[in-house]
Amino acid sequence: MGFKKGRKKDPVEKFITSNQVIVKTGLSQLRYMILAEGLTTRSDSESCPYRCYVWSILLQVPPTESEFYIELVSQGKSQSFDKILNDAHRTLKGDPNYESKVTPTILARTLNCYALMTEIKNENISRSSRRNSRTYLSSPYIQGMNILMAPFLYVCKIEPQAFLLFDKMINGHMPLYVLPNLEGAHTGVRMVDLCLQIVDPKLHSYLSKKMLKTEIYAFPSVLTLSACTPPLSEVLELWDFLFSYGIHLNVLFIVAQLVLIRSELMKISNPMTLLREFPRLESKKIIKLGISFIEKIPKDVYMLLVKHTHDPTISEQLDAYYH
């Protein structure tokens, strides 16, 4: 009687299943392996089987405990449920790989749990702070969270794991993006504008002369960390890098997407026809080009870029660059 041969582990999977004595050193090595080798996928239609564990390590989310999530599910509908359900049915519509694994019901349930948790947190903050003017209350749900949650549900083995990773990304790495006024996302758009002006002034000037404000074409990509642009398989590779080296780099990846189509943009009289929907992602090209921009950006501007996802003073500091 023969035995079924197990799947052969690649170097990254071997590394994450090995014992790492020094966490900081292990994280640095994992980040480098993602930069140098990337995560293995068996085919275009399948996600990397261990990506969820890599994301858990990079976002520093401990092993999943389901009790808290189950308790939230039992509480029923949040105040945002109808809006969530409406958006869930439109999320990544037409992507066969995503739709074969994640149903609108699953997406709505997970987002509803996040909204319930946030409502409870906001209520507790309001009571304890007496509405202190410096207290920030996160949005239980905003349009765009559906697209941000979708990759987690596609990658993760179980809903509670996706829920925890999403929560850590939102509240740990981009909290200003989910304020009711979307402050961080609007600041991110201004960072796209400033970085494009620095790395490609001719393209920036051309788009400005066409009255194409960055807010018009870049906002969805900023808010969703480029997940609004297909294909999902390329989004996952971009996110591998963002979780490794910082979510702020999404700004440079958006600039890279513009520069990659600069010749087409500058040939046509109405560039918005191309920018209404960005061309399909090519993660390797975008990452390589986006990283190359770092050395062109002044250190003071780069520090604003790094901090804009969580520092509410960055928007005001950016004003100095537009006088």
pLDDT digits (tens, 9 = 90+) for 220-232: 999 999 999 999 9
In this structure, what are the phi and psi dihedrals at residue 207, rounded to the nearest 5 degrees? Answer: -65, -35
pLDDT at 3: 38
pLDDT at 25: 81
Helix (H, G, I), strand (E, B) or coil at 38: coil
pLDDT > 80? residue 43: no
* Alpha carbon distance 233, 235 (integer Å): 5
pLDDT at 298: 97
Burial class (CB in 10 A: 0-12, 13-18, 19+), 19: exposed
pLDDT at 125: 83
Helix (H, G, I), strand (E, B) or coil at 35: helix
CATH 1.10.8.270 applies to domain 61-172: yes
pLDDT digits (tens, 9 = 90+) for 2-15: 434 556 778 788 88
Q: How does DSSP assign 186-214, residue by residue?
A: HHHHHHHHHHHHHH-HHHHHHHHHTT--H
Q: State what percent of residues in the chain have pLDDT above 70.
A: 93
- The average pLDDT across 243-268 equals 97
* Alpha carbon distance 176, 309 (integer Å): 6
pLDDT at 46: 66
pLDDT bracket for residue 134 (50, 70, 90): low
* Alpha carbon distance 97, 44 (integer Å): 9
pLDDT digits (tens, 9 = 90+) for 50-78: 999 999 999 999 887 899 999 999 999 99
pLDDT at 90: 96
pLDDT at 9: 78
pLDDT digits (tens, 9 = 90+) for 164-219: 999 999 999 999 999 999 999 999 999 999 999 999 999 999 999 999 999 999 99
Q: Classify domain 183-322 at the CATH class level.
A: mainly alpha
Euclidean distance between the first and the last CA atom of the chain, given in angstroms as a whole number: 77
Name the residue with higher pLDDT: 51 or 135: 51
- The average pLDDT across 256-285 equals 94
pLDDT at 130: 56
* pTM confidence score: 0.92
pLDDT bracket for residue 42 (50, 70, 90): low
Element (H, E) at 291: helix 283-292
Element (H, E) at 145: helix 145-155
Name the residue with higher pLDDT: 207 or 16: 207
* Average confidence score pLDDT of the chain: 91
Q: Which residues contact 295 (CB under 8 A, 6 or more apart)?
A: none
pLDDT bracket for residue 41 (50, 70, 90): confident
* Alpha carbon distance 236, 297 (integer Å): 26
Whose CA is closest to 115, among 66, 64, 77?
Answer: 77
pLDDT > 50? residue 1: no
Q: Where, residue-wise, is CATH 1.10.8.270 in the chain?
A: 61-172
**Angle value at C-alpha 226, between 58 and 109, nearest 5 degrees:** 75
69 within 8 A of 107, measured Cβ to Cβ? no
Q: How does DSSP assign 42-86, residue by residue?
A: SSTTS--TTHHHHHHHHTT-PSP--HHHHHHHTT---TTHHHHHH
Q: Where, residue-wise, is CATH 1.10.472.80 in the chain?
A: 183-322
Cα-Cα-Cα-Cα dihedral sign, residues 154, 159, 160, 163: positive
